[in-house]
Amino acid sequence: MEKPQRKKRILSGIQPTGIFTLGNYLGAIRNWKQMQEDYNCIFFIADMHAVTIRQDPASFKKQTLECFALLLACGIDPEKSIVFIQSHVPSHSQLTWLLNCNTQFGELSRMTQFKDKSSRHSDNINAGLFSYPVLMAADILIYSPDLVPVGNDQKQHIELTRDIVNRFNNAYGKTFTMPDAYIPKLTARVMSLSDPTKKMSKSADDNLCIDILDTPAQIIKKFRRAVTDSDSLVAYREGKDGINNLMSIYSSITGKSFEEIESEFDGRGYGDFKTAVGEAVAEELAPIRENYDRLMNDRSYLKAVYADGAKKAATISSRVLEKAYKRMGFIPPEK
C-alpha cells in the first residue's frame, strides 16, 4: 500500500493592530481558512513584532485577545491548525539572538520597511525596529515550514531569511530548512473606498474603511458612499479605479467574473451596483461577527485554545532551538 504523501507545513502570523479590515480578510485571512484543508498550518498573533512601535499596555492586551478571537471567528480551526500567541513561546526570542549574531548590519540597514517605519516614527527609532526582520526569520525557521505566505511588501524578509539560512548552515552544518515564499494565485487587493488609488487601511483619512465587525447597515452605507467616477457604466476599464475596486471586491465575494458582473449590472447604474456590493460583503461577514461575539463571551475557551496552541508550538520549536544551540557549541542544560 502506498504511503500517504506528507502535507507541506505552512506558517503565517498577523500583528494585533486592531479589528481586521475587509482588505485583511480578503487578502489573507480567508485564504488561511482554505489552506487548512491542504497544508499543516501554523498561525500566530505576532504580538512581539507589534511593540517596535510603543503600545498602550491596556489597549495592546485587549487587541491581542480580540485578534486571536477574530482568527477563530474567521474559520481558523484549532483542531486542524496550531494557533497561538507569539510571546507565549520563548523559542522565538531565544533563536532571534542566535540569528542576530549571524546577520550582517548592512543587510538590516537595507530593509525598506525599516526606512519607512523610521520616517513615520522618528521619535522612536529603536533597536527592535532595526532588527525585527531577524525575529521574523526566527518565527519562520523555528518551525521548519515548507512555505510562508507573503505579499509583495514581505518578499525582502523572505530573501533575508534565506540568506541567514545559507550563512548559518554553511558555518555550523545543516540546521535550518530553507523556506519558500507562497504567493496565492488569486488574492484580492482591496483599495480604499474613499481613494481607490490607495490600499484600504485604518488611517485617519480613510473614513470608509470596512472593519469585518461592522454591522450590515454600516457596511452598506460605506459602500453607497464609495468614490467612483462621472460615468454610469459598470465595467472594468483603465481610469475607472473606483468601479474596478468594487468589481474586484464583488468578484472575490461572489465568485463571479468581471464579464458576468458587467452583464448583471448592464443599464442599472452605480447606485444599484454599490448597494449590491455592500449587501454581498455584509452577508459574507455576518457569520464572523456572530462567531466573534460568541468567542469573546467565552474567555475560558479562548485561554484553553491559546494555551494548547502554545504547548504544541513549543514542542516543535524546542527541537529546532536545541539543534541550533548544539550546532553553535553551547553546553546543553541538565534536564
Catalytic residues: 117, 199, 202
| Rounded distance between C-alpha atoms, residue 238 and residue 58, angstroms | 46
Helical (H) or strand (E) element with 44: strand 40-45
Cell of 138: 526566527
One-letter amino acid identity for 83? V
Residue appearing with cell numbers 491581542: 64
Q: Which residues contact 20 (CB under 8 A, 6 or more apart)?
A: 29, 67, 70, 74, 211, 212
Residue 67: name the closest of 145, 13, 28 by CA. 13
| Rounded distance between C-alpha atoms, residue 108 and residue 114, angstroms | 8
| Rounded distance between C-alpha atoms, residue 30 and residue 38, angstroms | 14
Cell of 114: 525599516
One-letter amino acid identity for 111? M
Question: Is residue 78 helix, strand or coil?
Answer: coil
Rg over alpha carbons for the chain, rounded to the nearest Å, is 22
Of the CA atoms within 13 Å of residue 80, those in its CB half-sphere come to 15
